[in-house]
A and B are shown apart, each in its own frame.
Chain A
């Protein structure tokens, strides 16, 4: 059983399935894909993220050895390596999986307007929806919390709109029991909300956004259709500032390093430049952590070919002027003066934090957490959890980028296969 269907969970499932081992892939959301689906491009190749992910999503849903269980959560786990009994709760979708063809007629009729989590609340979605256009499985689901029928016993417009009679308000949550030899936890990470660092002005200033919001803003399938403008006044930004280590390497928030931000802020600066060659980017950093393969060269390219200026220094605070342009106040490490620089848009590279489900799931699985609440892996065999037969991969055990998540996932799959072959 693999818990979590982001890139790590998907890769682990595919490796095992191709190895001839049956996989139960459990995903809490209605669609698989995880964080990688939200990204615009990926470093250091600048491949379009969803474009390289989509074939894997399709493989996951088509592979005969993989049973995909979306809207599902692990309730209870008993047993030992080689023989775990797992209780899974699958929430009602209120849409018949075999009838829905994702035509979207229901969506048009739904009167509700709800913040779209996939687009980082930068756009509205309806109460009947699909997480994102390329989502797998390509089936609608109803957000019970927001649907008028469930909240006010009114509406049911979607039911009338559906030509395939796919809407089913009578569906109920289902509990099933599974027997598995090994478990891989791949529940990913959450994103730190920088509101708590008041001096950075997030949510107070309209032109201060987070890096994941920026991914959606610049993405061709995002709320702006890929035309980068400031959400606030529709002005095209020309001067961008990225602030690294927001909430990371910070003992008041998260003491650890989020490990991907040096690289992805460079990538975001590059993509912005590709959209508009007049854009100038400054990246404020503490250390440039570019130890991965080809990473140093990537930083150099950013600097030489994409007009990215790397500024060493911790940002003290962000102010804004009358036009709501953010002003970055920082200490210049060359001259030791406190300087102020005005930008059009400031992007905060926020920490990757443990998933909010990590603590509960660790209790259910009976595995240890580290001091930050990431799942604790063994020091020199990090895919091994504290419990035999349960393995970890991806950012649920430590912040990591996509290639490392993929390596981790295949590594966890190999360890899980050992257990399965022993049975």
Chain B
């Protein structure tokens, strides 16, 4: 394409008043018209609305645009949509550029609108110069192995496995213990219907006899290779290594209850944990008359700031079960905030109070003190210290991340949050996805979750996974790195720096090769290559240089 053939369309978005209330949007659209190659320019109230999108399509056709720029919000949320619109109008989606004049301009320069408008001019000018150099790219097609690996055979893993199996996909369920069931196996009954925990594991039989499902017990993940649609996983089962291929992977590795060692004189005798109590109840060995439960032991503190979400309900459940055995028992629950959200749980909380369970709020600054035969606690409500007789103290500790989360996260190349729970792609709208395609998370591996939450997330993860599994092939991002073989000296700097392990060495030619399906186009390799032998498509050296020069006003 010669220079004269480049026809750029610029659409500047008001985003209601988000941008339009600060920047002078109409004059930005006017300004764009003065820039090289810009054939058409306009402002829209909301470029992402149906009206705005139609306008883009119509103008691509009418003005024979072959580059489109939208100056609006964040490409993180909107680039896929605008690219798709370009494609619908017959334009290669990589001939689209986005300028963020909202998050990086109108929002931060709310109080200096004039300077903000000048900044937007700079940003748009830079983008126009880059756009002129854009090249069409092809998305890469990859085949999909129509089967899933689910890691973890607790209630979340079981539910996800069964759903995918019932949808007709092959599933390999990997469990590190020698039995399926996870944490539920250690529990007596579960809230809110106080059902036997074992009843909820009845799906195990269905799974073990399901013709689409294969269960690997006493097995751990050793190695993960590959990418969306084509994962190769090595599973270690006692001494042998089994290779399993799968299109997607679901993480359902759960969490573990923190041991209260070191808190409140925990001794497993008259000061026990809720998990210990489950066992006592299961074996019908409860004899105490005065029971005090202390919530938030080992959490909501400096070390673990979070609330573990399920402990209030668990404590209430066990308190109710004690009362069922011994209606004369006095049970006191010392809490900070009662977590009983929604309809059923709030009713459960009310029922617990009606049954005579006493709830006393304590503050972490004045924690309870256990003395012989009594618990002393400062009650916020009564504004004084009170003494509660006790012959059993039960400590509620949080669920904490599995110790091997870190190892698994590294193998799967997915992130963890600060407490080592798996970190999803978007807290709000992609709660069970990862930024890495083809991997999903559910249950307590994501955040402490009870049975209902775990099964909900498990089905959600199965749904997200099934979107990939039913396809024969899928398309992945085309803006990736490419090594120019002739320039590469085989120094391996790129191989070492690549966070996605997308680069390997071709032993024959002694040069690096990029697996374009795994590559995320982050650019680290390109920046670290001493010979400039790596092109980052869509962010090439020429394109970025053009932007920088356009900013300096020298072009």
**B300 near A296: Cβ-Cβ < 8 Å:** yes
**B467 near A134: Cβ-Cβ < 8 Å:** no
Given the known interface contacts A226-B17, A292-B447, the answer about A51 and B428 at a Cβ–Cβ threshold of 8 Å is no
Whole-angstrom distance between the Cβ of B350 and the nearest chain A Cβ: 7
**A294 near B427: Cβ-Cβ < 8 Å:** yes
**B463 near A293: Cβ-Cβ < 8 Å:** no
A220–B20 Cα distance when bound, in Å, is 10
Whether a CB of chain B sits under 8 angstroms from the CB of A370 is yes
Q: How many A-B residue pairs have CB under 8 A?
A: 219
**A15 near B307: Cβ-Cβ < 8 Å:** no
A225–B15 Cα distance when bound, in Å, is 12
The residues of B that contact A56 with a CB separation of less than 8 Å are: 429
A18–B471 Cα distance when bound, in Å, is 10
The residues of B that contact A289 with a CB separation of less than 8 Å are: 337-341
Whether a CB of chain B sits under 8 angstroms from the CB of A312 is yes
**A256 near B347: Cβ-Cβ < 8 Å:** yes
Whether a CB of chain A sits under 8 angstroms from the CB of B346 is yes
Whether a CB of chain B sits under 8 angstroms from the CB of A162 is no
Whether a CB of chain A sits under 8 angstroms from the CB of B432 is yes
Whole-angstrom distance between the Cβ of A344 and the nearest chain B Cβ: 22
The residues of A that contact B383 with a CB separation of less than 8 Å are: 334-336
Whole-angstrom distance between the Cβ of A311 and the nearest chain B Cβ: 12
Whether a CB of chain B sits under 8 angstroms from the CB of A414 is yes
Whether a CB of chain B sits under 8 angstroms from the CB of A290 is yes
Residue from B307, B341, B380, B459 within 8 A of A415 (CB atoms):
B459
A136–B81 Cα distance when bound, in Å, is 14
Nearest-neighbor residue (CB-CB) of B191 within chain A = A379
With an 8 Å Cβ cutoff, the count of chain B residues facing the other chain is 79
Whole-angstrom distance between the Cβ of B202 and the nearest chain A Cβ: 11
Whether a CB of chain B sits under 8 angstroms from the CB of A137 is yes
The residues of A that contact B342 with a CB separation of less than 8 Å are: 256-257, 259, 398-400
A42–B448 Cα distance when bound, in Å, is 22
A52–B461 Cα distance when bound, in Å, is 21
**B341 near A259: Cβ-Cβ < 8 Å:** yes
Whole-angstrom distance between the Cβ of A382 and the nearest chain B Cβ: 5
B163, B193, B305, B337: which has the most chain A beta carbons within 10 Å? Answer: B337
Whether a CB of chain A sits under 8 angstroms from the CB of B118 is no
Whether a CB of chain A sits under 8 angstroms from the CB of B456 is yes
**B48 near A417: Cβ-Cβ < 8 Å:** no
The residues of A that contact B48 with a CB separation of less than 8 Å are: 54-55, 58, 134
**B463 near A417: Cβ-Cβ < 8 Å:** yes
Given the known interface contacts A403-B428, A411-B459, the answer about A133 and B49 at a Cβ–Cβ threshold of 8 Å is yes
**B193 near A379: Cβ-Cβ < 8 Å:** yes
Complex interface bits, A322-335 against B, C-beta within 8 A gives 1, otherwise 0: 00000000000111
The residues of A that contact B78 with a CB separation of less than 8 Å are: 51, 54-55
A422–B452 Cα distance when bound, in Å, is 25
Whether a CB of chain A sits under 8 angstroms from the CB of B364 is no
The residues of A that contact B166 with a CB separation of less than 8 Å are: 418, 421-422
Nearest-neighbor residue (CB-CB) of A20 within chain B = B470
Whole-angstrom distance between the Cβ of B394 and the nearest chain A Cβ: 20
Residue from B51, B337, B451 within 8 A of A288 (CB atoms):
B337
Whole-angstrom distance between the Cβ of A140 and the nearest chain B Cβ: 11
Considering only residues 335-357 of chain B, those with a C-beta below 8 Å from chain A are 337-347, 350
A135–B45 Cα distance when bound, in Å, is 12
Given the known interface contacts A58-B48, A382-B452, the answer about A293 and B380 at a Cβ–Cβ threshold of 8 Å is no
**B309 near A291: Cβ-Cβ < 8 Å:** yes
Whether a CB of chain B sits under 8 angstroms from the CB of A410 is yes
The residues of B that contact A134 with a CB separation of less than 8 Å are: 46, 48-49
Residue from A102, A374, A414 within 8 A of B51 (CB atoms):
A102
A418–B460 Cα distance when bound, in Å, is 13
Complex interface bits, A173-200 against B, C-beta within 8 A gives 1, otherwise 0: 0000000000000000000000000000
A39–B193 Cα distance when bound, in Å, is 35
Whole-angstrom distance between the Cβ of B85 and the nearest chain A Cβ: 9
Whether a CB of chain A sits under 8 angstroms from the CB of B168 is yes
A407–B306 Cα distance when bound, in Å, is 21
Whether a CB of chain B sits under 8 angstroms from the CB of A110 is no
Residue from B53, B305, B428, B456 within 8 A of A297 (CB atoms):
B305
Whether a CB of chain B sits under 8 angstroms from the CB of A342 is no
Whole-angstrom distance between the Cβ of A351 and the nearest chain B Cβ: 11
**A411 near B429: Cβ-Cβ < 8 Å:** no
Given the known interface contacts A336-B383, A381-B455, the answer about A19 and B50 at a Cβ–Cβ threshold of 8 Å is no
Given the known interface contacts A19-B467, A255-B346, A380-B455, the answer about A137 and B50 at a Cβ–Cβ threshold of 8 Å is yes
Write 7 A-B pairs (CB below 8 A) sorted by A numbering.
A45-B428, A51-B77, A101-B51, A295-B307, A336-B383, A372-B343, A410-B459
Other A-B contacts than A20-B471, A403-B431, 11 sampled, CB-CB below 8 A, are A51-B78, A55-B48, A58-B48, A138-B51, A256-B347, A292-B309, A333-B381, A374-B343, A379-B193, A407-B431, A411-B455
3 closest pairs, A vs B, by CB? A410-B460, A138-B50, A411-B459
